[in-house]
Amino acid sequence: MAFNRPKKKLMEDDEIIVLNNVSKSYQAGVQALSNINIHIKKGEFVFVVGDSGSGKSTFIKLLLRELVPTTGSIYILDYNLNKIKHRKVPKFRRNIGVVFQDFRLLKDRNVYENVAFAQRIIEVPSAQIRKNVPKVLATVGLAGKYKVKPGRLSGGEQQRVAIARALVNKPSIILADEPTGNLDPKNSMEIMKLLEEINEKGTTVIMVTHNKEIVNAMQKRVITLNKGVIISDVEKGGYNDEI
C-alpha cells in the first residue's frame, strides 16, 4: 500500500464541470452518449448543439444527476456525481438553475409565487423571500408583473419568469434546454441577452439549442454532438454546418 500518495487531481481550480469518458446507454440498448470528455471553466458560456436524438437532453440529465453514466465520471463543483449519496442530491441541485423549452410554470400561481416557490422548497425564511423575489424579477425585467398569472403573459415573459425562478437561489450554473424553442426571433434574442447578462455576472451557462442564428450571433463556445459523440468543440465560434 502506498500511503501519502498525492490524490490524482480530477479537476483544475478554475473548472466547474468535468466529464471523463462518459457514456450513457438506456435499457433498450440505445447508446445515447459515447465517450464524452468535457472540461468547463467557471464563468463559461457553452452552447451544446446537435440534431434531434444526438444526446443533448441526456447530457443535461446527467449534469442534474437525474441519470447516472453507464461508464465514466462527472465532477461538478466539489461533487463527484458517481459517489454522491441519494440524500445529498437535492442539496447538490441547489447549485444549478434549470430552464426548459416549455417554461414549466405553475399555471394557478402568479409570477411572484412561481419564483417564491423555489425558495420555499429550500426553506428560505419568508422575510428573505419577500426581499429576494422582487429583486430577481427586476433583473429579468418583470418588476411590474408579479401579481399576474403565467397564462396572461407572452411566451417571452413566461420564459423570463422561469429564468427568475432558476436564478433566485443564486446557482453557480444555469442549464437551459432549448429555452428559445417556443419563442419568436425577437423574444429569443431578448432571452439570449438576459442569459448573457447573467453569465457576465459570473454564472456558468450551458445552453442546448437548435437555433443556428443565435449560436452564430453569440460567438461563444460551441460543443456539437452527433449520434452521441462530440464531433467538434470550438472555443469561440458559430454553428457547425456539418450537422
Binding site for Mg ion (CB under 5 A): 56-57
Could you write out the DSSP letters of every residue in 59-95? HHHHHTTSS--SEEEEEETTEETTT--GGGHHHHHTT
Instruction: Select the binding partner of residue 50 from Mg ion, ligand ADP, none (C-beta < 5 to 8 A, by kind).
Output: ligand ADP
Q: How far is the CB of 46 from ligand ADP (least distance, A)?
A: 15
Q: How far is the CB of 113 from ligand ADP (least distance, A)?
A: 30
HSE of 131, CA atoms in CB hemisphere, 13 A: 4
Instruction: Select the binding partner of residue 53 from ligand ADP, Mg ion, none (C-beta < 5 to 8 A, by kind).
Output: ligand ADP
Q: How far is the CB of 200 from ligand ADP (least distance, A)?
A: 27
Q: Are 96 and 173 in contact (CB under 8 A)?
A: yes
Compare residues 115 and 176 and give the one whose CB is closer to Mg ion. Answer: 176
Q: Are 98 and 64 in contact (CB under 8 A)?
A: yes
How many other CB atoms are found less than 10 A from the CB of residue 155? 16
Compare residues 60 and 192 and give the one whose CB is closer to ligand ADP. Answer: 60
How far apart CA 119 and CA 137 sit, in angstroms, is: 14
Q: How far is the CB of 156 from ligand ADP (least distance, A)?
A: 23
Instruction: Select the binding partner of residue 26 from ligand ADP, Mg ion, none (C-beta < 5 to 8 A, by kind).
Output: ligand ADP
Distances from the Cα of 139 to the Cαs of 21, 35, 116, 193, in angstroms? 38, 39, 15, 12
- Point out which residues bind ligand ADP (CB under 6 A): 26, 28, 30, 32, 50, 52-58
